[in-house]
Amino acid sequence: MNAAIGKQRGRNGSASLSHSQQDYLKQIFLLSATSRGATTQLLADRIGVRPASVTGMLKKLAEEGLVERAPYRAVHLTETGRRIAVELVRHHRLLEAFLSRTLGYRWDEVHEEAEALEHVISERFEQKVAELLAHPDRDPHGDPIPTRELALEEDQHLTALALLPKGSQGTIRRVTLQDQDALNLVEKLDLLPGTAIEVAGTHPDGISLLVAGSRFLVPSLLAAHLLVDHAPPPSSAQPETREGTGRPVAHEQ
């Protein structure tokens, strides 16, 4: 990419895309990793517009060859659309790492700044940031940063804390939240990426955790956003069942 993403399609071809179009492609990419996929209603909720506006934008993106649509189905990115989306994700996560490590931004402050900057940085600036940070593979929230070649680690080995049985031990690797109040709570509970945890018990309203000798309850909604690299519990431990759990929620970025 010789200039901003909006000046061309990913690192190949050329077509002018608005910031709004780029945002749609990125959100489709992120929602596609969830069980429900990128539906019109979910896109409307994520972007903050009416479903009719989403339908109109998807029609335009389909005409550009960036998405594939079918009635009453989740929308999917074409290969070209995916490259643009992944490059935007790379920009965003690199910028979050840069703002945090170099400029001293708190991890709950970087998202909005990166949202504004991700559309306009050049390929040269992107590469300079990557070199300055020694080519980081994770942003401050633990989300994987795509490579310059737009390869992205899937993190299929990680499991939401909400799904772990009693006795499980592991390390928090990702926090899939952007809300400032929620991130402040995660920090106060010392549940940052890199923190070792053990599941002491499971309850209908949350997960009882042992962290550095302290035991406390993590609400189920929060536990669904904490992704853990874990070891299974000892064979003597009996898995417990819980209600209201599901797949991790996609990162809102």
For a pLDDT cut of 70, what percent of the chain falls above it? 87
Tokens of 182: 């929620």
pLDDT of residue 1: 44
CA distances from 212 to 189, 195, 231, 248 (A): 11, 9, 17, 25
pLDDT of residue 34: 85
Lowest mean pLDDT across 2-6, 106-110, 168-172: 2-6
Residue 75, classed as helix, strand or coil, is strand
Residues 24 and 30 sit within 8 Å (Cβ to Cβ): no
Q: Which of the four pLDDT bands, split at 50, 70 and 90, describes residue 72? A: confident
Q: From CA 75, how far away is CA 249, in angstroms rounded? A: 18
pLDDT of residue 207: 97
Position 240 pLDDT exceeds 80: no
Q: Which of residues 26 and 247 earns the better pLDDT score?
A: 26
Position 36 pLDDT exceeds 90: no
Q: Which of residues 253 and 138 earns the better pLDDT score?
A: 138
pLDDT of residue 241: 46
Q: Which of the four pLDDT bands, split at 50, 70 and 90, describes residue 231? A: confident
Average pLDDT over residues 62-67: 96
pLDDT digits (tens, 9 = 90+) for 77-109: 999 999 999 999 999 999 999 999 999 999 999
Average pLDDT over residues 123-133: 97
pLDDT of residue 109: 95
CA distances from 197 to 112, 152, 155 (A): 29, 26, 19
pLDDT of residue 5: 52
Q: From CA 44, how far away is CA 24, in angstroms rounded? A: 10
pLDDT of residue 160: 96
Average pLDDT over residues 223-245: 70
Q: From CA 70, how far away is CA 207, in angstroms rounded? A: 39
> What is the pLDDT of the chain when averaged over all its residues?
89
Query: How crowded is residue 59: how many other Cβ atoms within 10 Å of its Cβ?
Result: 12
Sorted by where each starts, the structural domains of the chain and their CATH numbers stand as: 1-154 (1.10.10.10), 159-231 (2.30.30.90)
